[in-house]
Amino acid sequence: MLEIESLYREMGISFPVLQFGNKIEEALKERFEAIDCTAEYNQLKVIHAMQENRVNAECFNYVSGYGYDDYGRDTLEKVYASVFHTESALVRPQITCGTHALSLALAANLRPGEELLSAAGKPYDTLEEVIGIRPSNGSLAEYGVTYRQVDLLSDGSFDFDGIKSAIHEKTKIVTIQRSKGYQTRPSFSVGQIGEVIQFVKEIKPDVICMVDNCYGEFVETIEPSDVGADMVVGSLIKNPGGGLAPIGGYIAGREDLIENCGYRLTSPGLGREVGATLGVTQSFYQGLFLAPTVVASALKGAVLAANIYEKLGYKVVPNASESRHDIIQAVELGTPEGVISFCRGIQAAAPVDSYVSPEPWAMPGYDSDVIMAAGAFVQGSSIELSADGPIKPPYAVYFQGGLTWPHAKLGILMSLQYLVKEGLVTL
Ligand SMILES: *Cc1c(COP(=O)(O)O)cnc(C)c1O
């Protein structure tokens, strides 16, 4: 027996599961090469941005207190603006997560009486409370901001006619979510997002187009800001933090919009001038530097998972051969037991907390119990190998991340091992 086989076995992966996985992996060489090409391009893009902005050791200094003239922070924001080809960017540890970054971008740029339009149907669950779709203290609705949404067509594409008739004089921001989130619709390519933006701008040129870019960064060689988005928004404990950022979010876009975000994040009058970084900037830079190859590892994991589970007869979104626009892989396991076993397998493959067994629970911001598997160095980080699933039909699990390809592979094999062990799958 090969040494690697015996180590897999020692870690709980049986020979049939390994063999099944390896056979599928062998057929994916070309896909993996294409993923590596994208990573190569994006790696150059990030290094180029760091060079252009003359990143140096002073950028990593610890700054406390008010944080005036935090050179590392200000330079990092220029680097992000260069990577996203925008006028400006706000990249801060005070932005606590993706939901906060999105909420900030909206609240900073909407005023009472104005309207937000979602062109991509129902937004990510946590945004329902931000917007006030589900009544919530402090929602945009409480401040007199109205909301409309245009649902996607039954094939998952944009409803252009619907969008056209939903835009009127009060429409101030059109938001587009790139990734599927907790839905089983397809994620959008940057090209498709560009078409919608162009369409919206033809109807109402002064409308602000915002893209929820969570999970999409570095999956393609261009970003939504390259196709006309006025603001792109995301979390640093997803793709662009490269697994090293311990907290944070970013908003990249038009200077006037980003300036408003600064005033909303801190205070009117203070804006971006304050906000000490307390020594985290070095991990923000280094994480951004690693992000293109980390995203490539995660993508390879997603493609392997799609191919394994499709072969076993499950519905997977995206399917085994589709092109990828984010790092999320949905697998419809069809039963609560399937979702739970899958997640327990992912957990068992983790470097941290591998011995704990995840349970479904009522998480704030979600409308059903959710099970989450994450043995992460950064709590809740979903660029690290993780899986989660709401315990509601169609009992789909959403799998994402993997800082390294071998870990992503181990996680998927372990998920399969757990399904086999529970008698839910026979190979
Ligand atoms: C993760 C995610 C969010 C919210 O981010 P959190 O960091 O979990 O608050 C919003 N939109 C999409 C599409 C996401 O994937």
Neighbours of 334 (CB within 10 A): 15
What integer pLDDT is reported at residue 228 of this predicted model? 98
User: CB of 124 closer than 6 A to ligand 1?
Assistant: yes
pLDDT in tens, 106-150: 999 999 999 999 999 999 989 999 999 999 999 999 999 999 999
Q: Please work out whether the CB of residue 381 comes within 6 Å of at least one atom of ligand 1.
A: no
Q: How far apart are CA 284 and CA 387, in angstroms?
A: 24
Question: Ligand 1: which of 178, 180, 212, 398 to mutate, judged by most atoms within 8 Å of the beta carbon?
Answer: 212
User: Which residue, by CA, sits nearest to atom 8 of ligand 1?
Assistant: 98
User: Could you tell me the CA-to-CA distances from 112 to 139, 143, 171, 258, 420 in Å, in that order?
Assistant: 12, 6, 12, 19, 55
pLDDT of residue 125: 86
pLDDT greater than 80 at residue 1: no
Contact partners, residue 34, CB within 8 Å, separation at least 6 = none
The dihedral region occupied by 376, where left means phi > 0, alpha psi between -120 and 50, and beta the remainder, is: beta
Q: Which of 95, 99, 118, 177 to mutate to test the pocket of ligand 1 (most atoms within 8 A of CB)?
A: 99
SS3 for 319-360 is: CCCCCCCCCCEEEECCCHHHHHHHHHHHHHCCCCCCCCCCCC
Provide the whole-model pTM. 0.96
CA 232 – ligand 1 centroid, Å: 13
Closest CA to 397 of 354, 345, 339, 351: 339
Is pLDDT of 365 > 70? no
Given a contact cutoff of 8 angstroms between Cβ atoms, the answer to whether 383 and 243 are in contact is yes
Place 363 in a pLDDT band, splitting at 50, 70 and 90: confident
Q: What is the DSSP letter of 88?
A: E
pLDDT at residue number 368: 86
Q: Which residue has the tokens 């988005």?
A: 229
Question: What 3-state DSSP class applies to 301?
Answer: helix
- With the most atoms of ligand 1 within 8 angstroms of its CB, the residue from 127, 237, 238 to mutate is 238
pLDDT (tens digit, 9 = 90+) per residue, 9-59? 999 999 999 999 999 999 999 999 999 999 999 999 999 999 999 999 999
Which run of H or E residues covers position 374? strand 370-374
In the predicted model, is pLDDT for residue 100 greater than 70? Answer: yes
Listed range (78-87, 298-307, 321-330) with the worst mean pLDDT: 321-330
Which of 100-104, 150-154, 362-366, 420-424 is predicted with the least confidence, judged by mean pLDDT? 362-366
**238 CA to middle of ligand 1, Å?**
9
Work out the mean pLDDT of the chain and round it to a whole number: 96
Structure tokens at 309: 């589970």
The residue whose CA has the least distance to atom 12 of ligand 1 is 214
Mean local confidence (pLDDT), 302-330: 95
Summarize the confidence of residues 211-215 as an average pLDDT. 97
**Which position has the higher pLDDT, 291 or 186?**
291
Quote the percentage of the chain above a pLDDT of 90.
95
- pLDDT value of residue 104: 98
Average pLDDT over residues 347-360: 96
Nearest to 260 by CA among 110, 123, 412, 417: 110
Cβ count near 78 (within 10 Å): 18
CB of 327 sitting under 6 A from ligand 1: no
Q: What are phi and psi of 93, to 5 degrees?
A: -70, -20
Eight-class DSSP state of 238: S
pLDDT exceeds cutoff 80 at 173: yes
Cα-based distances in Å from 16 to 2, 173, 343, 413, 415: 14, 52, 20, 10, 14
**What confidence score (pLDDT) does residue 366 get?**
73
pLDDT attached to residue 186 = 85
Q: Which atom of ligand 1 is nearest to the CA of 97?
A: 7
Residue 182 has pLDDT above 90, yes or no: no
Q: Where are the alpha helices (DSSP H) in 132-266?
A: 160-166, 190-203, 255-265
Residue nearest atom 6 in ligand 1 by C-alpha distance: 98
User: Each residue of 246-281: pLDDT tens digit?
Assistant: 999 999 999 999 999 999 999 999 999 999 999 999
* pLDDT higher than threshold 70 for residue 411: yes
How many Å apart are CA 175 and CA 173, to the nearest integer? Answer: 6
Ligand 1 near 400 CB (within 6 A): no
Q: Burial of 389 by CB count in 10 Å (0-12 exposed, 13-18 middle, 19+ buried)?
A: buried
pLDDT (average), residues 334-363:
96
- Above pLDDT 70, what percent of the chain? 100
pLDDT of residue 154: 93
Indicate the angle between helix axes 281-311 and 29-52, nearest 10 degrees. Answer: 170
- CA atoms of 72 and 37, how far apart (whole Å): 30
C-alpha distance from residue 368 to each of 227, 323, 328, 360 (Å): 36, 30, 20, 9
Mean per-residue pLDDT, 219-225: 98
Q: Which residues of 34-68 are buried (b: 16+ CB within 10 A; e: fewer)?
A: ebeebbeebbebbeebbeebebeeebbeebeeebe
Mutation test residue for ligand 1: of 102, 235, 363, 399, the one with most atoms within 8 Å of CB? 235
Bridge partners (DSSP) listed for residue 373: 387
Query: Residue 95: left if φ>0, alpha if ψ -120 to 50, beta else—which one?
Result: beta
Question: What angle is formed at CA 266 by the lines to CA 139 and CA 98, rounded to 5 degrees?
Answer: 55
- Does the beta carbon of 118 sit less than 6 angstroms from any atom of ligand 1? no
CB 91 within 8 A of CB 76: yes
400 phi, psi to nearest 5 deg: -155, 160
In angstroms, what is the span from residue 16 Cα to ligand 1's centroid?
A: 36
CA–CA gap between residue 182 and residue 124 (Å, rounded): 7
Q: Is 239 in the pocket of ligand 1 (CB under 6 A)?
A: no
